[in-house]
Structure 1
């Protein structure tokens, strides 16, 4: 087990899982998880990255696990979470540059933290979700045009009204996490289980989860315990800030991520192709992050570093070693 520490970032107290290599002065790599996850989502990466000479730190994002859970929707903007990361970096490595790695929601969090803090972030890696530049409209407008206006279910629309998704997820957190993870993993039989009418619930129509090698009973129970204690309000509030995030990011319109970047996605992950809108996510990223190295792994679904830890670790350690 890594060392668990509570770090005051100046904005929020974050629970951090930290592993250090032979020296506590190795470059700091901060790992940022997505929904519905935890620092634990990086359990396969912390040790190998530390052994390679880095200080590996996986956080519970605000709202999750052992981190602070402020009450307001606007407490969960990209701006606020980026400030958490920079405050954490300053607490652990005052005045030094750091490397960020994120998955799912953690990917846009680290992409945009790197974009808006180029002097503090030396390199950035994102898994599952590519960087598509500063948005030209809020994402709510995009999914309402393509889904809601056509009477189609879209999970982020379902998450918008506070209390509705929370009630469904909190009825049985362990089951919710297991069923969601299985439904967009590389192991699920082919089928678009999220193709359903507006008004459906999140879990409606999702396949019953089957045992998969990368997600053990102990893993599922860990996630279940975490969300039973923390609830889902903070995590879901992240989805309720698209307009605020859009407004904040306009200050960097036309800017690119100039630092070295790594992208790793899966060819069975709907987020890697931005829900089918992008045929080549790596080519897309090169427009907005010219120093990107990209990999799309065959047979991999949404839970990239958990589904294929050995392959992700090989790519990540090779990239880190060349920075």
Structure 2
């Protein structure tokens, strides 16, 4: 496994890669990095694939534009197109987790000629809703749930990243603990934030590292976010309503390429994305599998690498 810099879409990306063969791009989510895919990079390389995992735009050692508008879904898909081209691939498979899943789904939606297979982890494809921008829909969901605002609504504020920047190690430890499958259900985050609190306030200060995360691994994350801060990562969230406006031409478009969805049974995301998960085969008619991993939480490829590797390799072989 090696790290190198790649020029793509006018930016410099730091990628981890290994192997030779058909290209598989692995896209991380929030608040993660390319290192979240180490187990998959190794398994894919051993199976005869070229696995490439970038630090995404605004993360880690990759470029982080200052302009908030530079983090739209079209910019992010453009980055992945550029990475595929830089790797010399005419076609490839794209795999994403969390925010990376949203990008991967849109890669397959917008460029099925290039991304001929797609796998999404934790976050199902969520089609554009004609009813209105996402934050409007989230506000209605939050009102029905009666648990406060969905954290994504709170992340829209210009200073929402400040508590994360104040102590990156604590913020990351809380996030990993709050969304982990091994965390007791009563301590696990719901994703909803009561009035007067912030997301990090809803997770105990003494939250330990998840069982799968070593102290050194957490330190890698904390060091990276200590350098970059969390502002660029939050700018992904601050573009969600703008993404809705930018993608109006793709209203009602389906993802037609072979697809796979994986989620942890205990992933809190399923509390507020269950509708999209239930409708997934309507919007992704070539869905080859929906794998729900018992007892797993949100950090699926790190919590359960063996199950994820087996599902990905089976999908690649059969699709």
**TM-score, length basis structure 1:** 0.92
CA RMSD, Structure 1 to Structure 2 (Å):
1.8
Structure 1: any 5+ residue segments left out of the alignment?
A: none
State the secondary structure of the residue aligned to 1:40.
helix
Q: Is residue 61 from structure 1 mapped to residue 56 from structure 2 by the alignment?
A: yes
The one-character-per-residue Cα deviations of 1:55-100 (angstroms, maximum 9, x if unpaired) are 0000111000011100111100000000000011111125x01110
> What's the offset of the Cα at 1:243?
1.7
**Contact 1:258/1:289 (CA < 8 Å) preserved in 2?**
yes
CA distance in 2, matches of 1:171, 1:91: 36
Structure 2: any 5+ residue segments left out of the alignment?
A: none
Match for residue 199 of structure 2?
202
Q: Is residue 13 from structure 1 mapped to residue 12 from structure 2 by the alignment?
A: yes
Q: Is residue 160 from structure 1 mapped to residue 156 from structure 2 by the alignment?
A: yes
The one-character-per-residue Cα deviations of 1:174-229 (angstroms, maximum 9, x if unpaired) are 11111111111101111264454223122113133234331111111110011001
CA distance in 2, matches of 1:231, 1:85: 23
> What's the offset of the Cα at 1:124?
0.3
CA distance in 2, matches of 1:66, 1:112: 24
Q: Is residue 179 from structure 1 mapped to residue 174 from structure 2 by the alignment?
A: yes
CA distance in 2, matches of 1:11, 1:145: 39
State the secondary structure of the residue aligned to 1:65.
coil
**Contact 1:148/1:198 (CA < 8 Å) preserved in 2?**
no
1:238-257 to 2 correspondences below 5 Å: 238-257=236-255
> What's the offset of the Cα at 1:40?
0.5
Match for residue 34 of structure 2?
39
Seen in structure 2, the aligned counterparts of structure 1 residues 221 and 312 have a Cα distance that, compared at 3 Å, is same
Seen in structure 2, the aligned counterparts of structure 1 residues 100 and 196 have a Cα distance that, compared at 3 Å, is closer
Match for residue 311 of structure 1?
307
Seen in structure 2, the aligned counterparts of structure 1 residues 225 and 286 have a Cα distance that, compared at 3 Å, is same
